[in-house]
Structure 1
Amino acid sequence: MDPDRKVDAGMLAGVSETALLTLNGRAYQARHPNAILDDPMAIRVVDSIDFDFDKFGRRKGQEMALRSLAFDRAATAYLAKHPKATVVALAEGLQTSFWRLDAALPTAEFRWLTVDFEPIIELRRRLLPESARITTLAQSALDYSWMDAVDTTHGVFITAEGLLMYLQPEESMGLITECAARFPGAQMIFDLPPVMVKKFAPKGVRSSSRYRVPPMPFSLSAAELADLVHTVPGVRAVHDLPMPQGRGFFFEKVFPAFWGLKATKNYRGAYTLLEFG
């Protein structure tokens, strides 16, 4: 890519456009002198895109960086035990997780499978470095044919960062169920918003006068998530992951403490790790 020519990202719309929102939040945090996430690739990508990021409003994005940090920690733990595993990144958007994990695990040989719609895949091809360990599939995560491309020999770790909440309940549950059936021994991580979001913001949450985050029709409470071991065949264990500590009093002390309280568990969002048996 010519560093003097920026890439137009204006073709993204709907849920796909949220890839730019989360990318911008991570890059903003990565530039901070006391960064909570080391993500130089996110900075590079943001600087290479021709897009009006100000339309999203507030840019701090610490919660977005913390989500990526929680996902990285779960992936790192799995890859430390399965260094040649295949990571499947569903609806990956403009995430830069591969490069963060590759830096954190320099001796690992994990392979990466990105699954997303064609406009996102094309942007990734233009913005991100190539690697022989990365394979991309331009299709919906709900087109289960991607499962045929997964090498299960050395383990499988599936990520659905910022995906399930935008699907219909039957689609999200169908995806979890199919993954559990197809990949015994694998792990899957996903995030969900508080259950009240779908009730109180059925048309989506406005982040600025010029942008509204798409509706999030799917979520589950902590109790419903824990019950997946009984309701979804193949789910062997459900782990409610902690909120990483951020920067500043609220994100370092208050938010993680709130996240960990039993009384608030069913009213907050969730970072959930599933083990398939």
Structure 2
Amino acid sequence: MPVIDARHLTAVSETALLTLHQRASEAARPDAIIEDPLAITLRDSLDYDYDHFGRAHQATALRALAFDIASRRYLETRPRATVVALAEGLQTSYWRLDNGEISWLSVDLDPIVRLRQELLPDADRLRHLARSALDHSWMDQVDATNGVLITAEGLFQYLDHDAVFDLIAACAAEFPGGQLIFDSVPRYLSWYSCRHGIRLSKHYTAPPMPFSFTADRYGELLAIPGVHAVREVEMPAGRGRILSRTAAFVYRSPRLRRFRAPTNVVEFG
């Protein structure tokens, strides 16, 4: 792959580089929790000072694994479904999930789409659409014949509440029988990011995250017409005994639901 300058990405688009770096750094470890060789190749093909982001960690890889788990469950019963990856950034999920039958629509802003098309391998069942996830016209490009799975990995936290709920309501109306997978952040982290900013290093502060959502608020989603069910995706096992035990406790305890911001599956019926 050629080395491409990625220093033009800013604001939320720059987080695509952050999550790529985190996932590739984890995949490159001898004790990696995720297998993602394409992420390593992609990261090394971009001219960018990743030290700008500070220390690498496994949280982004754990999130990717949670999305993979939920996606595979849907695809087990609908192997020819269309997967719509909203604001996909520089994720490589298609190559981890491809079963030889799925169709994939990657929706993102034009600068990201250009990088993906220039650097990632061509695939017959993978299409790109340069469009905002909030422009609901992307739905017109989706073949829902064999089922629809929509992923919003690392997206909703950067939107406001009304935009998120309007998008979920539109998906529920358009894709009965489909599913949406999304993650979020807890209330305090959202508040702190908007008030003070989250500094990952002396050079980089993450964009504000105005939308928060925790596991005690599923009733709000169930009130949306067309939403049939909502459930949590279990946290994958991470590296390290302390992390694994702590995560298992947090995800088992009903008392911690109001603090827990899990990966969520919304079923449309």
TM-score, normalization: structure 2?
0.97
Q: Secondary structure at the match of 2:21?
A: helix
Which residue of the partner structure matches residue 175 of structure 1? 167
2:22 maps to which of 8, 16, 25: 25
Q: Is the 8 A contact 1:116 1:140 kept in 2?
A: yes
Equivalent residue in structure 1 for 2:92, among 92, 96, 112: 96
CA contact (8 A) 2:185 2:214 kept: no
State, as a whole percentage, how many aligned pairs show the same letter: 50
- Aligned twin of 2:244: 252
8 Å CA contact 2:192, 2:198 repeated in 1: no
Which position in structure 1 is the counterpart of 2:230? 238
Secondary structure of residue in 2 paired with 1:98: helix
CA contact (8 A) 1:195 1:268 kept: no
Please, which moves more after superposition, 123-132 or 247-256? 247-256
Select 1:166's aligned residue among 135, 145, 158.
158
CA distance in 1, matches of 2:225, 2:231: 16
- The one of 38, 42, 61 equivalent to 1:41 is 38
Give the one of 202, 205, 210 matched to 1:212. 205
- Aligned residue number for residue 218 of structure 2: 225
1:80 to 60, 76, 80: 76
- Does structure 1 conserve the Cα–Cα contact (< 8 Å) formed by 2:82 and 2:142? yes
Q: CA deviation at 1:78?
A: 0.8
Specify which of 94, 109, 116 is matched with residue 101 of structure 2.
109
Shift of 1:239: 0.5
* Mapped partners of 1:146, 1:192: distance in 2: 22
Quick one: which amino acid aligns to residue 4 of structure 2? V
Q: How does 1:138-177 map to 2 (within 5 A)?
A: 138-177=130-169
SS at match of 1:201: helix
Give the aligned residue type for 2:42. Answer: V
2:59 is matched with which residue?
63
Structure 1 stretches lacking a partner, 5+ long: none
How far 1:132 sits from its partner (Å)?
A: 1.1
8 Å CA contact retained: 1:194, 1:270: no
Task: Name the residue aligned to 2:110.
Answer: 118
Gaps of 5+ in 2: none
Q: What is the rounded CA distance, in whole Å, between the counterparts of 2:214 and 2:4 in structure 1?
A: 40
SS in 1 for 2:209: coil
1:201 CA displacement: 2.6
Deviation at 1:200, TM superposition (A): 2.5
Letter in 2 for 1:76: R
Q: Decide whether the 8 Å contact of 1:240 with 1:273 is kept in 2.
A: yes
Residue in 2 aligned with 1:135? 127
Alignment match, 2:6:
9
User: Is the Cα–Cα contact under 8 Å of residues 193 and 207 in structure 2 kept in the other structure?
Assistant: no
Cα deviation for residue 255 of structure 1 reads 2.2
CA contact (8 A) 2:104 2:125 kept: yes
Amino acid aligned to 1:224: R
Q: Deviations over 1:226-249 (max 9, x none)?
A: 4411x2000000011111111112
CA distance in 1, matches of 2:80, 2:258: 36
